[in-house]
Structure 1
């Protein structure tokens, strides 16, 4: 827990405009259309970080069957609120969430947050040769 903040997994509390504004400007989802992100959030377990005033300042989601597998995505803390332990608290809340217990595998992709995720047991793939992907990094630019 971080004083002056709270974490919620109540989807009705998520501020879509804040989430879209942040995520649509990231390296991993630049220009993602609102309709695409809305559909993604509707089909994910969402976690929001809120200031004492009720403003959404952080977010993460798990794409999961809630039984065997999950993919952690779209994690952010607004820059002016960083350095307070909020990302660690958010990660702990996600990993303690009841329906995410006993999963066989959780994956994520990151370019710059290996230190954070390593604290929660994430490691490079043991056998990357067993994983494949179909990747279209410019898909959101097709909507321009």
Structure 2
């Protein structure tokens, strides 16, 4: 068993709760080996855990997308479509974050310290409802 790592070793190494690895196993994402009722992971499964963790944290992928990407080739899902959609979602989020940063930088430079709603840059970005009869 020198080439296997216990579930505790894998969980500690990736800073994951053991319950997360149990959940991933129930969802079919990882397949540990069992010895005397204990779960052990070989190198391929450890790399798989690393990949799932990376996608969850940096790629912000929900488990259903990860399942689609890691599905066996016999499955009908096309993992490239899932990855392409995730890239589009991240790019949209980057655009929103860039807009937010620009707006906040603008507020820092605004001379209306106590009345930020008076900021000319802010006012220029906001469309007011049409004036009408109440």
Give the TM-score normalised by the residue count of structure 1: 0.29
**Greater C-alpha Rg:** 2
Identify the structure with the greater strand proportion: 1
Identify the structure with the greater helix proportion: 2
